[in-house]
Chains A and B, each alone.
Chain A
Amino acid sequence: GENVEQHPSTLSVQEGDSAVIKCTYSDSASNYFPWYKQELGKRPQLIIDIRSNVGEKKDQRIAVTLNKTAKHFSLHITETQPEDSAVYFCAARYTGTASKLTFGTGTRLQVTL
């Protein structure tokens, strides 16, 4: 089955700096890679996703890159703000509504003033 590793487990940055979270996956058949943000006690919220036919996707301050050859994908947050503080999870699966997501272990991002 799929295995997703995520690093770092914790990340502290100053407001305005950039944050990068990296994930690797094991199953070359995976072709869909979402990123979720989870605030304490709340549901995970999808913030961005990327499919394997695309190398990079950007949405305002958030971008995701995918290297299929190396089976790496990364989340980039620029100009971080205190409200970006949360736990971020990467995930991977192959497309299909019945296909289950395999999650990384999460990164706790703390944006300090």
Chain B
Amino acid sequence: GAVVSQHPSWVICKSGTSVKIECRSLDFQATTMFWYRQFPKQSLMLMATSNEGSKATYEQGVEKDKFLINHASLTLSTLTVTSAHPEDSSFYICSATTGDTQYFGPGTRLTVL
């Protein structure tokens, strides 16, 4: 099946710093990728839809200036959490679609101290 990778798998950073997370589709091209955030024992909450070659579409309540998304190629999307704060600590998961099926990356656990 299709494989989506994500890097890093975990990151610890100081408050106020920025963190970049990469999402790659390894064996297929994805014009659209999605970024989710998942807090403990909760469902996946869609943050934004990443479109190759154009601006991302953010869900209501998600700050586009804080969560910068770049989809520079058909296999790579990046999420940058700018000026991270402890409340941004969460599990960030990307996904990419081929056909009808959406495949998820392994997730990045972000801890902001």
Instruction: Write the residues of chain A forming the contact surface with B, with a CB cutoff of 8 angstroms.
Output: 32, 34, 36, 41-46, 49, 51, 89, 95, 97-98, 100-106, 108
Contact = CB atoms under 8 A, between A and B. Distances in A.
B67 to A, nearest CB: 16
- Looking at B30, B98, B101, the one whose CB has the most chain A CB atoms below 10 A away is B101
A42 B44 CA distance: 12
B51 interface: yes
Interface string B30-51: 1110100000011110100101
Q: How large is the interface on B (under 10, 10 to 19, 20 to 34, 35 or more residues)?
A: 20 to 34
B102 interface: yes
Interface of B: 30-32, 34, 41-44, 46, 49, 51, 91, 93, 97-107, 109
A100 B47 CA distance: 11
Which of B49, B91, B104, B106 neighbours the largest number of chain A CB atoms within 10 Å of its CB?
A: B104
Contact of B44 (A32, A44, A49, A98): A44
Nearest to B49: A100
Q: Which of B93, B99, B100, B103 has the most CB of A within 10 A?
A: B100
B106 A105 contact: no
Contacts of B32: 97-98
Contacts of A89: 43-44
Given A98-B31, A100-B34, A106-B43, A43 B101 contact: no
A49 B101 contact: yes
Contacts of A106: 42-43
Given A42-B106, A104-B43, 11 more contacts: A34-B102, A41-B107, A41-B109, A43-B104, A43-B107, A44-B44, A44-B93, A45-B104, A98-B32, A101-B34, A106-B42
